[in-house]
Structure 1
């Protein structure tokens, strides 16, 4: 089976220094770009995170400081990478919650204000959890009857994720072979920012998805408690989240 595509779709997996999009950096990125005609190409490269790779992270992906000492930093490949993925849709395993937010943060740090608002995001993990409740290794065995012997290798994980999605489409007739449908089905709520700090409520209003103001309108909180905006801007939040709340605040100023 081939995916029914209008645009190329890029499946991605990142190995990083940790799990915090606002702090951690990419040490390896693997992309599987699938074209509407079903052809695909794989690109994998390691990157120098310009920081120490914590031992607990290296224990998972087996990439150490010395392995990336001579590799380029993300900022050196940012423009060519964006040229390669611009206009594509995206897929991954837990990618909506982790890989996409981390990637966007890296672009912003490199000075590229990338726009993914027209892209669709298919999170294969969310489809899997809605259907079966498993991990990627188990998903690969369950759907493809193969053992994922190189788990936590970015390229192996990325290729496995793509195969799992194709197998999911074969197994579940209720899943439409359509990127818009799969993106909506695999979404968990509607996030305004990629990290899920700001989400849309049922009326399409931006509300906080965390903390003491969870569920409250962002614009309303900033009107009644301006210091909360300052706290977020000075806090350890992702750059894209800060961009989103600034846009909301400026919009409210313009409506006065």
Structure 2
């Protein structure tokens, strides 16, 4: 089995903690970018004053209150430009983005950039964001019949991954995500032989298949709401 070499890095891990879960309207509170090679790990983090109140339920998850963000956070336009610059620099070099539930973080980042009059990642790159590696999508694709939840913490438990710090801190989550990807490559070694562009496409197709099946189940159960988006790794921008 040929090894395409991508597992040795570099890989760029990305995660955000936010004011909520709506990718169109919620705001970034913290972000982390981790660049990992075979021998090094570089971590960069941002604390952002989102310019709106951080709901108590969100602060209870990631630990950042409105008061703390206002006192210590960066102005959002400035911080967002820096985050996008880092992702763009590595994206132009062909470094894959590794993000758990990538469509959340990448879609929200583009919405935030547009909100502040800044070019989105695709606009900066001149192409869609790719390649992306998403351990959540890979898990649903490679182990589709496993029962139970598939949060990042659940996969850390599944693979026996332990690290310093609690999850729901952006930098801790990125490091855990990269560790989960390493564990998946060990469990599913055939991933090593897939070129990054083909692996990106395979994840896109796997996510669409999962979302269609999930939405069909929701419809059979009579559950309200829009269901899961079939788009990955970025949801299309809405008009207006």
Q: TM-score, normalised by structure 1?
A: 0.67
Assess if the C-alpha contact under 8 Å between 1:140 and 1:160 holds in 2. yes
Matching residue of 1:28: 30
Assess if the C-alpha contact under 8 Å between 2:110 and 2:121 holds in 1. no
Matching residue of 1:253: none
Measure the CA separation in 2 of the matches of 1:56 and 1:107. 24
Measure the CA separation in 2 of the matches of 1:56 and 1:126. 27
Q: Equivalent residue of 2:44, what SS?
A: strand
In the TM superposition, 1:1-256 aligns within 5 A as 4=6, 8-35=10-37, 39-70=40-71, 71-86=73-88, 87-88=90-91, 89-96=96-103, 98-116=104-122, 117-132=128-143, 133=146, 134-146=150-162, 150-176=166-192, 178-187=195-204, 188-189=207-208, 240-242=237-239
Give the C-alpha shift of residue 120 in structure 1.
1.4
Matching residue of 1:201: none
Q: Which runs of 5+ in 1 are unaligned?
A: 191-195, 197-209, 216-237, 244-256
Change in CA separation of 1:65 and 1:91 when aligned onto 2, cut-off 3 Å: same
Give the C-alpha shift of residue 8 in structure 1.
4.8
Matching residue of 2:220: none
Assess if the C-alpha contact under 8 Å between 2:6 and 2:192 holds in 1. no
Assess if the C-alpha contact under 8 Å between 2:163 and 2:176 holds in 1. no
Assess if the C-alpha contact under 8 Å between 2:130 and 2:200 holds in 1. no
Give the C-alpha shift of residue 240 in structure 1.
2.8
Q: Equivalent residue of 1:111, what SS?
A: coil
Measure the CA separation in 2 of the matches of 1:105 and 1:6. 32
RMSD: 3.3
Measure the CA separation in 1 of the matches of 2:34 and 2:153. 19
Assess if the C-alpha contact under 8 Å between 1:148 and 1:160 holds in 2. no
Q: Which structure has more helix as a fraction of its residues? A: 2
Assess if the C-alpha contact under 8 Å between 1:144 and 1:163 holds in 2. no
Q: TM-score, normalised by structure 2?
A: 0.71
Q: Equivalent residue of 1:12, what SS?
A: strand
Give the C-alpha shift of residue 95 in structure 1.
1.4
Superposed CA deviations along residues 190-238 of structure 1, whole A, max 9, x for unmatched, are 9xxxxx9xxxxxxxxxxxxx97xx99xxxxxxxxxxxxxxxxxxxxxx9
Q: Which runs of 5+ in 2 are unaligned?
A: 123-127, 212-224
